[in-house]
Structure 1
Amino acid sequence: MPNISEKGIQMPASPIRKLTPFADQAKRAGKKVYHLNIGQPDIATPVGMLDAIKNIDFDVWAYTSSEGTLTYRTKLAEYYNKLGYNITPEDILVTVGGSEAITIAMQTCVNEGDEIIIPEPFYANYNGFACMSNVVVKPILSHIENGFALPAISEFEKLITDKTKAIIICNPNNPTGYLYSEEELDALKALCLKYDLFLFSDEAYREFCYDGRTFISPMHLEGLDENVVIMDTVSKRYSACGARLGCLITKNKSVITSALKFAQARLSPGMVEQIAGTAAVDTPDSYFEEVNKEYTLRRDTLVNRLNAIEGAFCPNPGGAFYVVARLPIDDADVFCQWMLETFDLNGGTVMMAPATGFYSTPGSGKQEVRMAYVLNTADLDSAMNCLEVALQQYPGRTI
C-alpha cells in the first residue's frame, strides 16, 4: 500500500474540529451540546446580501477573473477607504475565504524554510497553513495574566534571524479577543522597518470592538506600505461563514503581482459569492451597532460567569467573540473530551476548544480553553451551569 506524504503526517489536526466525533456521539446519545468551540455566529446574515443571491439572473455560471470581479473589488475599495486605507481595486486580490488569503500571502512572501514570528496563542490554522507552505513558525508567548497583550519588542528581537521574513498578528485576536493598541502597532512598525519584515494582519474581526475602543490597522501607519499585507474575510463581519469569500490587500505591487499567479493557478473565486459580497458592502451601520450590542452582552455574560467559578480566570477581551479561560484542570484536551463523552447536566454538555492547539510551544495552554460567545445569553448561562458542575466532578480537577 502506498504511504502518505511526510507533510500529510505532520499536518496538525484542528483543535476547533477534532472533537466533533465525540460531539456527534453525544448528540446521538440524546445530549444537548452547547457549541462554544467554533466561531460560527448565530446572528442573521444581512438581508441585502441574501436578497442579492435570490435575485441573481444569469444564463451561464461562469468563471470570474482570478483577482476577483472588478465590480466587487471596486465596492471593496469603497468599504476599506471609508476606514482610511487609501487603496484602489488593483490593491485587492479576492480569495476563497480568509484561509486562502493567508496561504497565498505565505507562499508569495516567504521562502520554504524561512520563519514567521507569531504571538501565541494564535489562530490554530496558522500552523496548518505554515505546514502547507513549508514555513517555520516561531512562536512568542503572550500571557493570560495581562490579557494576552503584545509581548515586549525585545522578545521579538531575540527570535529574529536571517531567515525571519514576516510577523503575523490577528487583530482583534482569535483566540484571545485581545485588541492591539496604536502604541503596540507603532512598535511593530518600527520593528518591521528595522529588520525589513512583512507585517501580515489578519483582520477578520475588525468590526467587533467593544467598550468604545478603536480598531487600528497597520494600513493606518505611515511609511509601512511596502511591508503590510492584510488578510480579510466576510465570514464574521456579515455572519456569512459559508460564503468562503475573503481577500488579500497590499500596496506592495511586487506582492500583488506575484500573489495573482497563485490565484491564477486555482482559477477564480466564486461568482455568486462576489455578487453577495458586493451587496454586503451597503449593509447599514445600524446592523453592526446592534451586533456590537449583542456581542457585548454575551461577552459580559460569559466572562462574569467564568470568573465566578472557583479556580477559573478569564480576561475581559476588547474585541472579536472569543475568550481564552484558565480552568482548574490538569489537561484541557482530556477535559474537553471528557465533557462530551462522560458528563451531562440535565441532558446538556459543552463543547470547547482545548487551547493547546492554539499554541506552537509544546506544553503551553494545558489548563486553558477557548470559548466562542456565539450563542444567546440564555444558552451561555446554561452552558456555564454545565461547566461549573462539570468542574466539581472532573477527576483531574487541580484545586
Structure 2
Amino acid sequence: MPKISEKGHKMPSSPIRKLVPYAEQAEKDGKTVYYLNIGQPDIKTPQIALDAVKIHSLDILAYTRSEGSENYRKKIANYYDKNHISVSHNDIIVTTGGSEALLFAFGSIMDADDEIIIPEPFYANYNGFSTASSVNVVPVISKIEDNFALPPIEDFEKLITPKTKAILICNPGNPTGYLYSKAEIKKLAELVKKHDLFLIADEVYREFAYDGVKHYSILQEDSLKEHAIVIDSVSKRYSMCGARIGYLVSKNKEFIQTALKYAQARLSPPTLAQIASEAALSTPDSYFTDVTEEYVQRRDLLISELEKIDGVKVAKPKGAFYCIAELPVKNSDNFAQWLLESFSYENETVMVAPAAGFYSSPNVGLNQIRIAYVLNKESLKKAVKIIAEALKVYKD
C-alpha cells in the first residue's frame, strides 16, 4: 500500500472542528447546540457586499491578476490610509483568505527546519501552516494570570537561534482576545531589528478593539519597513468568512516580489469574492460602531457569567471576540466531547473549543477552553448556564 508522507501524519487536526460529528449527532438526538467553538459571527454581512455580487455585469467569470485586481488593491490602500497607515497598492497581494497569506509568507521567508517564535496560546492553524511549510514553531508562553499579555522580551531573545527567521503575533489575539499595546509593539520592533528578523502580525481583528484603546499596527512603525509583514482578511471585519479573501501587506519589495511567485502559482484569488470585498470597503463607519458595541456587551455578559462559576478563571479580552477560560477539569477535550455526547440541560448543550490545540507546547492548556462570543446575549447566557450545570456533575 502506498505510504502517506511524514508531513501528512504530523499535520494536526483542528481543535475547533474535530468535535463537529458529536455536535451533529447531538442535534440528530433532538438537542439544541450552542456553538461557541468557532469564530463565525452572527453579525449580518454588509448588504452592499451582497448586492455587488447579485448585480455584477460580468459575461465571463475570468481570472484576475495574481496579486488581485488593481482597483481593489488601491481601495485597500485607501482603507489603510484612513487608519493612518501609508501603503501603496503595490505593497499588497490579495490572497484566498488570511490562511493563504500566511502560507505565502512562511514560504517566502523560511526554508525547511527554520524557526518562527510565536506567543502561545495562538491561532491553532499556525501549527498546521508551520507543518505544511516544514517550519518549526518555537513557543513563548503567555499566561492567563497576566491576561495573556506579551511575555517579557527576554523570553523571546533567549529563544533566538541562527534558524530563527521571524516572530509572529496575532493582534488582537485569537484565541485570547488580547490587544497588544503600542509599547509592546515597539519592544518587538526593537528586537526584530536587533536580530534582523521579520515581524509578522495577523491583524484580521483590527476593527474590534475595546474600552477606548486603539489598535496599533506594526505598519505604523516606520523603522520596520523591511521587517513588517501584515496578514489581513475580510472574514471577521465584514462577517464574510465564506468569501475567503485576505491579503498580505508589506513595504519590503523583495518579500512582495517573492510572495507574488506563490500567488502566480495558484493563478488568482476568486473573482466574485473580490467584487464583494471591494464593495464592502464602502461600508459606513456606523457599521463598525454598532458591531463593536454589540461585542463589548457580549464580552461583558460572558465574563460576568463565567466569573460566577466556582473554580473558573477567565481572562478579559481587549479585542476580537474570543476568550480563554480555565475550568476545574483535568482535560477539556474530554469535557467538550462529554458535553455533546452525554450531557444536556433542558435538552440543550454547548460546543466549545478545547484550548490545548492552541498551544504547541505539550501538556499545556489542558484544562482551558476557548469561547467565541459570536452568539446573541440571550444565547450566550444560556450557554454559560449549561456549562455551569455541566461542571456540577462532570467527573474527569
Q: TM-score, normalised by structure 2?
A: 0.99
Q: C-alpha distance in 1, partners of 2:219/2:63? A: 31
Match of 1:173? 173
Q: What do residues 109-128 of structure 1 show as CA deviations (whole Å, max 9, x unaligned)?
A: 11111000000000000000
1:311 aligns to what? 311
**Cα separation, 1, equivalents of 2:251 and 2:222:** 12
Q: Which amino acid aligns with 2:2?
A: P
Could you say which residue in structure 2 is the equivalent of 1:89?
89
- For residues 83 and 288 of structure 2, the distance between their equivalents in structure 1, rounded to whole angstroms, comes to 14
Q: Which runs of 5+ in 2 are unaligned?
A: none
- In the aligned structure 1, how far is the partner of 2:333 from the partner of 2:393? 16
Tell me, in whole angstroms, the C-alpha distance in 2 between the residues paired with 1:274 and 1:319.
26
- TM-fit CA distance, 1:27: 0.8
The amino acid of 2:230's aligned partner reads I
Partner residue, 1:272: 272
1:53-68 alignment to 2 at 5 Å?
A: 53-68=53-68
Query: How far apart, CA to CA, are the structure 2 residues paired with 1:174 and 1:130?
Result: 17
Deviation at 1:174, TM superposition (A): 0.2
Could you tell me which residue of structure 1 aligns to residue 326 of structure 2? 326
- SS of 2:294 mapped into structure 1: helix
Alignment of 1:209 with 2:209, yes or no, is yes
Verify: 1:147 aligned to 2:147, yes or no.
Answer: yes
For the pair 1:114 / 2:89, whether they are aligned, the reply is: no
Q: Provide the secondary structure at the position in 2 that maps to 1:349.
A: strand
Q: In 1, Cα distance between the equivalents of 2:309 and 2:197?
A: 43
Determine the structure 2 residue equivalent to 1:132: 132
Aligned equivalents of 1:253 and 1:369: distance in 2? 40
Alignment match, 2:48: 48
Q: Does 1:4 align with 2:4?
A: yes
Letter in 2 for 1:244: R
1:273 & 1:248 partners in 2: Cα distance? 16
Q: Give 1:147 shift.
A: 0.3
Q: Distance in 1 between matches of 2:83 and 2:251?
A: 16
1:31 matched residue in structure 2:
31
- Equivalence for 2:182: 182
**Cα offsets for 1:104-160 (capped at 9, x unmatched):** 000001111100000000000000000000000000000000100000000001100
Deviations 1:152-207 (A, max 9, x none): 00000110000000000000000000000011001000000000000000001000
SS at match of 2:222: coil
Give the C-alpha shift of residue 261 in structure 1.
0.3
Which amino acid counterpart does residue 87 of structure 1 have in structure 2? V
2:256 equivalent to 1:256: yes
In the TM superposition, what is the alpha-carbon distance from 1:51 to its structure 2 partner? 1.0
Identity within the alignment, %: 55
Cα deviation digits, residues 36-56 of structure 1 (max 9, x gap): 000000000001111111111
Q: Name stretches of at least 5 consecutive residues in structure 1 with no aligned partner.
A: none
State the Cα distance separating 1:84 from its structure 2 match.
1.7
Divergent runs of 4+, >3 A: none
Structure 1 counterpart of 2:351 = 351
For 1:209 and 1:288, how far apart are their aligned partners in 2?
11
- What residue in structure 2 maps to residue 340 of structure 1? 340
Q: Which amino acid aligns with 1:146?
A: D
Q: Give me the whole-angstrom Cα distance separating, in 2, the residues matched to 1:330 and 1:77.
A: 47
CA distance in 1, matches of 2:258, 2:366: 40
SS in 2 for 1:278: helix
Structure 2: how far apart are the matches of 1:112 and 1:3?
Answer: 21
> How much has 1:222 moved relative to structure 2?
2.0
Instruction: Work out the CA distance in 1 between the residues paired with 2:35 and 2:308.
Output: 21
- Cα distance between partner residues in 1 of 2:299 and 2:78: 31
Partner-residue secondary structure (3-state), 2:158: helix
Residue in 2 that maps onto 1:161:
161
Q: Deviations over 1:359-396 (max 9, x none)?
A: 00000001100000000000001101100000001012
Separation in structure 1 between the aligned mates of residue 240 and residue 67 of structure 2, nearest angstrom: 21
2: CA distance, partners of 1:85 / 1:212: 19
Quick one: distance in 2 between partners of 1:54 and 1:289?
26
Shift of the alpha carbon at 1:83? Answer: 1.0
State the Cα RMSD in Å: 0.6
In structure 1, what is the Cα distance between the partners aligned to 2:81 and 2:254?
22
1:223 and 1:155 map into 2 onto residues whose CA distance is 23
3-state SS of paired residue (2:313): coil
One-letter amino acid of the counterpart of residue 355, structure 1: A
**1:247 partner letter:** Y
Provide the C-alpha distance between the structure 1 equivalents of 2:307 and 2:53, rounded to a whole number of angstroms.
43
CA distance in 1, matches of 2:133, 2:222: 30
Distance across 2 between alignment mates of 1:250 and 1:16: 30
What is the CA–CA distance in structure 2 between the aligned matches of 1:32 and 1:5, rounded to whole Å? Answer: 40
The aligned amino acid for 2:92 is: I
1:73 aligns with 2:73: yes
> 1 CA distance for matches of 2:180 and 2:90?
28
Residue number in structure 1 paired with 2:231: 231
Task: Give the CA deviation at 1:264.
Answer: 0.4
Shift of 1:19: 0.6
